[in-house]
Amino acid sequence: MTIKDKILVVEDEKNIAGLIKAILGASGYDVITASGGAEALSMISSHCPDLVVLDLGLPDMEGTEIIRAVREWSSLPIIVLSARSYERDKVAALDLGADDYVTKPFSSAELLARIRVAIRHTRAGLDNTALANSGRFTAGELTIDYNKHQVLIGGENCHLTQNEYRIVALLGKHAGKVLTYDTIMRELWGPQSKGGNQILRVNMANIRRKIEKNPAEPHYIFTEVGVGYRMIEGD
């Protein structure tokens, strides 16, 4: 890393803020901290961090309000780091536009890995859009051929249905990221398609039967229970 990526850590508990700062600093990041929401928003505008690690329970506002405010003008990657482990908190944060959600107590290796993924994604963001209509995505034996609308395993066409292909293509476009059920439904079946997760489950079962060696232990598309699906990162 010649130019250091700058990370803003928003955390009101001093011990935790210090710990995160030490972990990130040791990995070569430039770290700045804010202990409240208003301070965080002003630092985001003035310091232009490359990524934000965000606690949800802050003294002056909810972390979700920060996500909402930032998403009005920026796609800056935000990783929520929270003790709240309820599905509804995760879903709310991801739906508002958080890029990832890590639950406390956290492992430093996991946090660092998720930060690397989120930063890489912003870098690749422009290319990802192009990938939707052309090009290929590969991860191990899996190839998504966006020109031919085919998914292949070891070079063999998996013969996905149109809906199955669209789900895999969308996940491939956002590889490494969790897409919520609602996001997938909205993207593929329009804004009115609410609560039809059953369609997704059925399609995913068929997809896994076609692309996974053992559908019960998927290698390519993972289920984030109660939240959504995530495609493995590409090669």
* 60 or 156: CB nearest Ca ion: 60
The answer to whether the CB of 80 falls within 8 A of the CB of 100 is yes
* 55 or 89: CB nearest Ca ion: 55
β-strand pairing of 178-180 with 156-157 = unpaired
* 60 or 233: CB nearest Ca ion: 60
User: Residues interacting with Ca ion, by CB under 5 A?
Assistant: 12, 55, 57
* 55 or 182: CB nearest Ca ion: 55
Distances (CA, A) of 183 to 75, 87, 186, 194, 219: 16, 16, 5, 10, 22
CB of 16 to Ca ion, least distance (A): 8
CB of 98 to Ca ion, least distance (A): 16
CB of 84 to Ca ion, least distance (A): 10
CB of 78 to Ca ion, least distance (A): 16
Long-range contacts of 153-159 (CB under 8 A, 24+ apart): 153/211, 158/210, 158/211, 159/210
The CA R_g of the chain, rounded to the nearest whole Å, is 19
- Using alpha carbons, select from 57, 19, 4, 50 the residue that is nearest to residue 35: 57
CA–CA separation, 139 vs 147, rounded Å?
Answer: 17
CB of 56 to Ca ion, least distance (A): 7
The answer to whether the CB of 9 falls within 8 A of the CB of 50 is no
Residue closest to Ca ion when measured from CB atoms:
57
* 57 or 125: CB nearest Ca ion: 57
Q: How far is CA 124 from the centre of its chain?
A: 13
According to DSSP H, which parts of 8-48 are helical?
A: 14-26, 37-47
CB of 136 to Ca ion, least distance (A): 43
* Side chain identity, residue 135: G
* 12 or 39: CB nearest Ca ion: 12
